[in-house]
A = this chain, B = another copy of it.
Amino acid sequence: MAGNSFGEVFRVTTWGESHGPAVGAVIDGAIPGIEITAADIQKELDRRRPGQSGVSTPREESDTVEILSGVFEGKTTGTPISLLIRNSNQHSADYDSLRDTPRPGHADFGYAEKYGIRDHRGGGRSSGRETVGRVASGAVAKKILAEYGIEVVCHTTRIGSVWADTNLSLSFDEIKENIEKNLVRCADLKAAALMEKEVDAAKTAGDSVGGIVEGLIRGVPTGIGEPVFDKLDADLAKAIMSIGAVKGFEIGDGFAAAEFTGSVFNDAFEIKDGKIQTTTNHAGGILGGISTGNLIRFRAAIKPTPSVSISQKTVNIAEMKETEISISGRHDPVIAPRFVPVGEAMAAIVILDHLMRNQALRLSKTNLNQNNQK
């Protein structure tokens, strides 16, 4: 109800403020008997961490995860998994001026209006730091999905005016590999170099740039997704739009669908390798909210970082008078590349949750046989 949980069967609750003692997550509904270690989670947290280069904030976040429950002798037990990541390196005093002055493009104003009280330091709960809990939980989801041959990858396809070449037709694995080779996480390595330049230019100008990220999910079996309201793409849309800075979501051809005719947009069915498949994939792997067995493909529009050092007009709420603000400090000039691990995490959570929801319908007589009593 208050919005800090996601998922119905595999249910993640995140908590924590940017400059509080810690951030973390509790996962309820993890499948028992899956091997999971702190290192599995740490790997994803490290991918989330801002780097040392110009494209991401130089803030030193060590982000060491501690598994507090739900894992016994290296395996999940089916009980809640509590994940704790202590905050460090907080320059809370940097934010004193923001106590009554909402930053344009930030959630500050909304929180003040909604709650009448807020932890203003570093954006508090609305900080990008909130995604630590998402990424840690997503790491568990990814580990479980891997057991079923399901994998997620996100990659940057646009930053500012630079687009990745859509004719490259890189494989899923090539994309996975390439995005770790550059700071903007673009699989088209030529475009990546141009994107980095665009980011540097924005940084120099005290400004920031937007972008687009594509997500791919392979291995999802047919029949996953719950009509009517909990369509698989509707839940993916919610999951992705719930990530800060995302302004749009598309599945398959998305907004380009408007320019197609039905006879071209429809994906024809055929039999291939003894399976029913579609000849094309305009739909993006989901029809009527249910997976078709094809690659699932979505895109997210990411706005430019709202924290810019260029001076902006705002209002002091306490004094109710207009003022100006220039946001100094450590801020990424672009969010899209940092969206990548978060988008993967949320997509993984949606897919796992829906796999388990679908499973609830598959009650069978043999399933009733329990573990010890044969």
Number of chain copies forming the complex: 4
Q: Is the CB of B68 within 8 A of A21?
A: yes
> Of B4, B72, B287, B303, which contacts A229 at CB under 8 A?
B4
Residues of B within 8 A of A314 (CB): 268-269
> Of B21, B113, B371, which contacts A373 at CB under 8 A?
B113
> Of B81, B255, B261, B370, which contacts A221 at CB under 8 A?
B370
Residues of B within 8 A of A248 (CB): 248-251, 254-255, 257
Interface residues of A in 273-330 (CB under 8 A from B): 274-276, 278-279, 283-284, 287-293, 301-308, 310, 312-315, 317, 320-322
Interface residues of A in 12-64 (CB under 8 A from B): 13-17, 20-24, 26, 28-29, 31-33
Q: Is the CB of A17 within 8 A of B79?
A: yes
How far apart sit A250 and B301, CA to CA, in the bound complex (Å)? Answer: 8
Instruction: Indicate if A361 sits at the interface (CB-CB under 8 A).
Output: yes
With A111-B288, A279-B313 as known contacts, state yes or no: A117 contacts B75, CB within 8 Å.
yes
How far apart sit A9 and B230, CA to CA, in the bound complex (Å)? Answer: 13
CB distance from A373 to the nearest CB of B (A): 5
> Of B211, B358, B363, B373, which contacts A258 at CB under 8 A?
B211
CB-based nearest B residue for A1: B9
Q: Is the CB of A360 within 8 A of B9?
A: yes
How far apart sit A28 and B15, CA to CA, in the bound complex (Å)? Answer: 9
With A14-B228, A29-B1, A289-B242 as known contacts, state yes or no: A148 contacts B365, CB within 8 Å.
yes
With A66-B21, A68-B21, A237-B249 as known contacts, state yes or no: A77 contacts B28, CB within 8 Å.
no
Q: Is the CB of B371 within 8 A of A113?
A: yes
Q: Is the CB of A21 within 8 A of B69?
A: yes
Residues of B within 8 A of A119 (CB): 72, 77, 79
Q: Is the CB of B5 within 8 A of A1?
A: no
> Which of A101-109, A166-174, A176-184, A186-194 lies at the binding interface?
A101-109
With A15-B26, A287-B107 as known contacts, state yes or no: A241 contacts B247, CB within 8 Å.
no
Top 7 closest A-B pairs, CB basis?
A107-B288, A110-B290, A3-B226, A3-B230, A208-B262, A105-B266, A114-B223
Q: A5-B5, A5-B229, A106-B287 are in contact. List 7 more A-B contacts (CB 8 A).
A: A16-B82, A72-B119, A76-B117, A104-B269, A210-B265, A258-B301, A262-B303
